Amino acid sequence: MYFLRKAAIIFNTIKAVAFVTYKEWAAYRSHILVSLFTGPIYFLVQYFIWKAVYSGHEVINGFTFSQILTYFGLATIINYLIMDFADWNLQMLIRTGRFITYILRPLSHRLFAFSQKVGHRVLGFWLEFIPVYLLFFFVFGIRLIPAKPFWFIVSLILSYSIMFFINYCVGMFAFWLTRIFGVMEMFRIMRNLFAGVFIPLSFFPITIQKIFFFLPFQFIVYVPFRVFIGSYELAGITLSIPLVILFQAFMLGAVMLVAEIIWRFGIRRFTGVGA
Amino acid sequence: MKKSPFSFIHVYLISLKNALSERMVYRGDFFISSVIALLFEFVVPMITLLIYSSGSSFPGWTMNEALLIQAIFLLAKGIAFPFFFGIVFNILILIREGSFDILLLKPRSILFLSIATAIDINSMGKLLGGIGFFVFIITRFPSIGPAQWAAFGGLFLLSLSVFFSFALFLSGTLFVWVGNSRMWEIFNTFTLFGMYPQSIYSQPVQILITTAIPVALLASLPASVLLGKEPVYLLPAGIVAGVLLCAGILFWHGMLRRYTSAGG
């Protein structure tokens, strides 16, 4: 009973904060709609690059031309679903000292930030995800229908949460450094590179793939893509889809633990003064 | 009163000094940002490297030739971003806060002040990286003659003028599209076309990127000229770059008239 009551409180909190965030960002919907332009154009560039690269080749690093297009199409729309700015928000609150108003509240800031992400991405779902999905489907002929829909949705939820906790950890560096644009940018590039946003991870040399295997980043884009096509392979390691989802869940647990540890050390550094 | 060119240089140098002093307050972040800004630029060359090391290629282009395009792009960006492209971020912030008025009160050209107060010290890393990358790649092509270098020099100036035109269009738009931080995304998406050999695109796209939005001039055409390849649509691209620059200046001033001081 206690747990049910607690779960209801958490659910209501997420709903309330998400709704306010949704309303707030809906005022800037034209900014979000930029994705309708940038997503397809980015995809078009990828189409030409890979069309040239595949001339005379059927398969490169385990990908056919059609699979590589699906990969980039999927990477684009996954990004719309899991996109996150927890790092930026947190560093801004710490830097300006406004974070003090959050630690006075009877609510974990992590839950608050997560709820904000929910609201922001609900807006992104129908302003970015659906239109670009339809564009890919009807204009580019990219049929983004998962091989195993249930596991794909589970994988996406886990990817969504891993992305949030990684970004939140990055944002907490502001407790020490105050201004962390450089650190944020560094993690953004690392995250996108190691997650396979720019190029599938199987294009990297095998030694680097082995390193990627143990990092949390592959679980953001590469794993959801593999779950989407129904087979997982990295660094010569093949795993069944339920097993890779289990690893993804473990990785979520690990990044949550890291977030908790950084929080406990970081919050002691917070002075509330701002800079 | 007409100002001498030296007074403009003086103001610009003072702004450069101020930008550096301001950034030195957060030295740790500055050094990390500079290195990261540079590393980010190497993502596309790294993709090219991975493509070629997997046994594939861009038809008609060796790996070093493809990397030369990206080195030229980084070199041009390394000049544009620290010295004038910061105008986009500057206008974004000033308009959103409603504090652009402060610049309007000052006795200099408003466009000049918007550029001078926007020097992006972090992007100096791009410049150093661009020079280093360009020198590293160009040494792989020892037989480039003076005529090719001269043609390249002219096209490189056009490349910078295209960067400047983009800066004018993007920052001008921000006078009415207040606070839209996704301007870079639009810029990065478009310029991605310019980072690969022009020949990989279909004929209509090649025409589009040379005679409508001349992103091919950013690096692909200068690289073709430098390598002695036959560049296509070179003359129309050059004319369009000039038209784009004039249109950009007119556009920027036209949008300036719509500035309301209200913030956003």
Across the interface, do A203 and B59 touch by the CB < 8 Å criterion? Answer: no
Write down the pLDDT at residue B160: 96
- Residue B264: pLDDT band by 50, 70, 90 thresholds? low
Contacts of B177 in chain A (CB under 8 A): 30
DSSP class of residue B4 equals P
Closest-CA distance of chain A to residue B57, Å:
5
Across the interface, do A45 and B193 touch by the CB < 8 Å criterion? Answer: yes
Across the interface, do B59 and A52 touch by the CB < 8 Å criterion? Answer: yes
Which pLDDT tens digit goes with each residue over A104-161?
Answer: 888 899 999 999 999 999 999 999 999 999 999 998 888 888 989 999 999 999 999 9
Q: What would you report as the CA-atom Rg of chain A, rounded to the nearest whole angstrom?
A: 20
Is it the case that residue A214 has pLDDT exceeding 70? yes
Write down the pLDDT at residue A274: 65
Nearest CA in chain A to B190: A41
Write down the pLDDT at residue A192: 87
Write down the pLDDT at residue A227: 94
Q: Tell me how crowded residue B95 is: count the other CB atoms within 10 A of its CB.
A: 24
Is it the case that residue A250 has pLDDT exceeding 90? yes
Q: Tell me how crowded residue A126 is: count the other CB atoms within 10 A of its CB.
A: 10
Rounded Cα gap, residues B229 and B147, in angstroms: 13
Nearest to A181 among B33, B55, B189 (CB): B33
Rounded Cα gap, residues B260 and B101, in angstroms: 9
Contacts of B51 in chain A (CB under 8 A): 53, 203
Rounded Cα gap, residues B120 and B187, in angstroms: 17
Contacts of B33 in chain A (CB under 8 A): 181-182, 185
* Mean per-residue pLDDT, A227-231: 91
Rounded Cα gap, residues A246 and B223, in angstroms: 49
In chain B, % of residues over pLDDT 90: 55
Write down the pLDDT at residue B1: 53
Is it the case that residue B99 has pLDDT exceeding 80? yes
Asked if A241 and A151 count as a contact pair (C-beta separation under 8 A), the reply is yes
Is it the case that residue A190 has pLDDT exceeding 90? no
Nearest to A34 among B40, B47, B186 (CB): B186
Nearest to B201 among A38, A48, A186 (CB): A48
* Mean per-residue pLDDT, B179-208: 88
- Residue A178: pLDDT band by 50, 70, 90 thresholds? confident
Q: Tell me how crowded residue B199 is: count the other CB atoms within 10 A of its CB.
A: 15
Across the interface, do A179 and B192 touch by the CB < 8 Å criterion? Answer: no
Across the interface, do B54 and A61 touch by the CB < 8 Å criterion? Answer: yes
Across the interface, do A48 and B200 touch by the CB < 8 Å criterion? Answer: yes
Buried/exposed B77-88: b ≥16 CB within 10 Å, e otherwise: bbbbbbbbbbbb
Write down the pLDDT at residue B25: 81
Write down the pLDDT at residue B48: 93
Write down the pLDDT at residue B261: 80
* Mean per-residue pLDDT, A90-113: 91
CA A7 from centroid of its chain's CA atoms: 24
Across the interface, do B55 and A49 touch by the CB < 8 Å criterion? Answer: no
Beta bridge partners of A64: A59
Nearest CA in chain A to B194: A45
Across the interface, do B59 and A55 touch by the CB < 8 Å criterion? Answer: yes
Which pLDDT tens digit goes with each residue over B147-172?
Answer: 999 999 999 999 999 999 999 999 99
Q: Which residues of B touch A (CB under 8 A)?
A: 26, 28-37, 39-40, 43, 47, 50-51, 53-59, 122, 177, 179-182, 185-186, 189-190, 192-193, 196-197, 200-202, 205
* Mean per-residue pLDDT, B31-39: 77
Rounded Cα gap, residues B116 and B83, in angstroms: 8
Is it the case that residue B85 has pLDDT exceeding 90? yes
Which pLDDT tens digit goes with each residue over A20-77?
Answer: 999 998 888 888 888 888 889 999 999 999 999 998 889 998 889 998 999 999 999 9
Across the interface, do B180 and A54 touch by the CB < 8 Å criterion? Answer: no
Asked if A23 and A127 count as a contact pair (C-beta separation under 8 A), the reply is no
Q: Which pTM was predicted?
A: 0.86
- Residue B55: pLDDT band by 50, 70, 90 thresholds? confident
* Mean per-residue pLDDT, B234-263: 91
Ranking A203-212, A223-232, B18-27 by mean pLDDT, the lowest is B18-27
Asked if B197 and B51 count as a contact pair (C-beta separation under 8 A), the reply is no
Contacts of B39 in chain A (CB under 8 A): 186, 189
Across the interface, do B181 and A31 touch by the CB < 8 Å criterion? Answer: yes
Is it the case that residue B106 has pLDDT exceeding 70? yes
Write down the pLDDT at residue B181: 79
Q: What is the ipTM of this complex?
A: 0.85
Interacting residues of B99 by C-beta distance below 8 A, sequence separation 6+: none
Helices A65-82, A130-138: crossing angle, 10 deg rounding: 170
Write down the pLDDT at residue A132: 92
